[in-house]
Structure 1
């Protein structure tokens, strides 16, 4: 089969590699001048620090097959994300844990005492929380909510937490021990040389051709037996029904001689601080030593045409519009929509890779059985 894959990020690379290994001819195009999508990394010319150009990407998973897959293309070294937060004049550990609680309330509580104390802070009058704000108040109370959630969320989403669904705060991150590892997954790490060499390794196959700085044009579909689209779902249809809502990020880069903040990620919970966090990139590669440092202040705003979309908003208006595009996609033959943009879902890297592997398997299974490949293997809704 002649397969066209639009996007040289994780989805396109993984699907293309698996299909190429099965004997298919894969053409991968990308409008950017590099592979890797938002996972792209490169050395900073001034300091030598490995930069996560589109914001930090930390690999974490419980999927052993996916962990083995990425390790077959590069060497991953141990890394645990230990986030700090500046709020109301103090610096605290995130996610909220026993140290955070004791520091914030100036107490020396043991785990059971802390559980009882937080329960006393929670708003028990809220039953079946419907909004982000209600969810937070119901489980941690107003003081912790206003310090660590309210201002940060307003900046991140551009609206009040009372307007956001409770599902955004699916599992309130509160721990009653001193574990400050941000993620729960058993496999966590960073590629020693950054993500770009890993993705280049995945793409390194004689049956894969990669064309960069090559925007998609509709006539390309006539040259392919099947298309895998990892660009914006609404973009495939020329935004015919309007644009789906996204948040985007602006990065304010600055350098520092020495260690600027002592950690990779510092959140800023106060509403009067305009940025959501500062990332110090050399701390994402703790096995390296650099005198100089590169940091980025992150500002979140609504994505406009021409911006790089990061987070799907998925509020009521977007879900209604999403339904129209899903129906349009399902009526389109020969195209499968994949990845974060193609399915309008926020996906971690490990889930993106898992779905890409499963998509390639589903495609080959359809070929073997003479069936038509579906537009989605995971419902965007």
Structure 2
């Protein structure tokens, strides 16, 4: 039996802790926050009863059957379709950009084949053969008008830099559709845990071999009594930022409550750059099977992440990638520590990928410990 210390009670730490506990090891999980589940933490608003995604909305979506079965073993998932809207220049449109968006934006009634030809022949910049930036990717596939309406201002606010400075790969997450499908995701399995993500993670961590300590920041002395350390905190923080700080974007939330239905949908983007927030989320719509008279909304503002802020999105610009390579080399030389998850590997990971990577790492760790 190994004594294993896991730093971070998010998805990576919970899944690895559960698997190692089931293999007979003694697990201690610590987290500096007052709750488990990391940034997908959910809690009931005491005034309205609405289940609130405290650090912003999280919608579970995957094509991975094993991951879907895993989360359903720890929570009852209800079907959920993420249908995003966008307010641009005084009008509301459907996202991702689809046939309805195209017809409404250009004042047309195009069929799918007509819309495809219209975009390619009159909008797309076909002179761009190998898009290198976010901006080039957008101009090549949707053209300048749609790019400026739905992507440029939003992206500048979200990332704090010009879209021409961002890699093209970011836009590949945003599809262009030539039908009326407004489901933001295209995965086979999509849903929300009925009682929230925190209850799900609490279930994963509910094992006699797991001891959870909240409001417990990590100190190096804690690792002295552990046979192995699993680190899901920021990669650079483990090394005391001795090579510099990796860049992140963080989010500020302006929370407000009201009665009834405030905006009629879960997520409303704001594409114009003069609107300071990127979107407004109305949390009662993330659980449409519930009924509440009150409502809880967040205005979401993105900015650079400071030393005391919660990191959300790794920037991964050129300077971060260079520093990341140096930190990864340090991590590879560090014995007795596994670096995992979004923060520990400095990558943007969806929840299902986070769980998949933890499940894949488990047999390797178990074999090593044996």
2:302 paired residue among 300, 303, 308: 300
SS at 1:170's partner residue? helix
Q: Which residue of 2 aligns with 1:379?
A: none
Deviation of 1:164 after TM superposition, in Å, equals 1.1
Deviation of 1:172 after TM superposition, in Å, equals 4.6
Matched, 1:186 2:188: yes
Q: Which residue of 1 aligns with 2:349?
A: 347
Alignment partners' CA distance in 2, 1:167 and 1:175: 18
2:319 paired residue among 317, 322, 325: 317
Q: How does 1:6-17 map to 2 (within 5 A)?
A: 6-17=7-18
1:174 paired residue among 149, 171, 176: 176
Alignment partners' CA distance in 2, 1:298 and 1:242: 28
Alignment partners' CA distance in 2, 1:69 and 1:135: 36
Deviation of 1:222 after TM superposition, in Å, equals 1.3
Q: Which residue of 1 aligns with 2:330?
A: 328
Deviation of 1:162 after TM superposition, in Å, equals 1.1
Deviation of 1:366 after TM superposition, in Å, equals 2.3
Matched, 1:78 2:79: yes
Instruction: Indicate how the Cα distance of structure 1 residues 19 and 252 shifts in structure 2: closer, same or farther if over 3 A, else same.
Output: same
Q: How does 1:268-279 map to 2 (within 5 A)?
A: 268-279=270-281
1:337 paired residue among 322, 336, 339: 339
Deviation of 1:365 after TM superposition, in Å, equals 2.2
Q: Which residue of 2 aligns with 1:99?
A: 100
Deviation of 1:64 after TM superposition, in Å, equals 0.5
1:314-360: CA deviation from partner (whole Å, max 9, x where unpaired)? 00000001011111111110000000000000000001111111111
TM-score by length of 2: 0.98
Matched, 1:141 2:143: yes
Judge conservation of contact 1:136–1:172 (CA < 8 Å) in 2.
no
Deviation of 1:127 after TM superposition, in Å, equals 1.8
Judge conservation of contact 2:96–2:174 (CA < 8 Å) in 1.
no
Judge conservation of contact 1:264–1:284 (CA < 8 Å) in 2.
yes
Q: How does 1:252-263 map to 2 (within 5 A)?
A: 252-263=254-265
Deviation of 1:145 after TM superposition, in Å, equals 0.2
1:99-141: CA deviation from partner (whole Å, max 9, x where unpaired)? 0000000100000000000002111111211111111001111
TM-score by length of 1: 0.96
Alignment partners' CA distance in 2, 1:172 and 1:230: 28
Alignment partners' CA distance in 1, 2:126 and 2:194: 47
Deviation of 1:367 after TM superposition, in Å, equals 3.1
Alignment partners' CA distance in 2, 1:320 and 1:199: 34
Report which stretch shifted further, 122-131 or 282-291: 122-131
Q: Which residue of 1 aligns with 2:114?
A: 113
Matched, 1:233 2:259: no
Alignment partners' CA distance in 2, 1:252 and 1:98: 33
Instruction: Indicate how the Cα distance of structure 1 residues 55 and 106 shifts in structure 2: closer, same or farther if over 3 A, else same.
Output: same
Aligned length: 368
SS at 1:107's partner residue? coil
Alignment partners' CA distance in 1, 2:172 and 2:109: 29
Judge conservation of contact 1:84–1:92 (CA < 8 Å) in 2.
yes
Alignment partners' CA distance in 2, 1:222 and 1:358: 27
Report which stretch shifted further, 161-170 or 207-216: 161-170
Q: Which residue of 2 aligns with 1:65?
A: 66
Deviation of 1:171 after TM superposition, in Å, equals 4.8
Alignment partners' CA distance in 1, 2:258 and 2:108: 35
Alignment partners' CA distance in 1, 2:353 and 2:174: 21
Name structure 2 gaps, 5 residues minimum: none
Name structure 1 gaps, 5 residues minimum: 369-381
Q: Which residue of 2 aligns with 1:28?
A: 29
Report which stretch shifted further, 229-238 or 216-225: 216-225
1:38-81: CA deviation from partner (whole Å, max 9, x where unpaired)? 11100001111000000001000000111111111110000010
Q: Which residue of 2 aligns with 1:249?
A: 251
Deviation of 1:301 after TM superposition, in Å, equals 0.2
Alignment partners' CA distance in 1, 2:344 and 2:173: 26
Q: Which of structure 1's runs of 4+ aligned residues deviate more than 2 A?
A: 365-368
Alignment partners' CA distance in 2, 1:19 and 1:91: 49
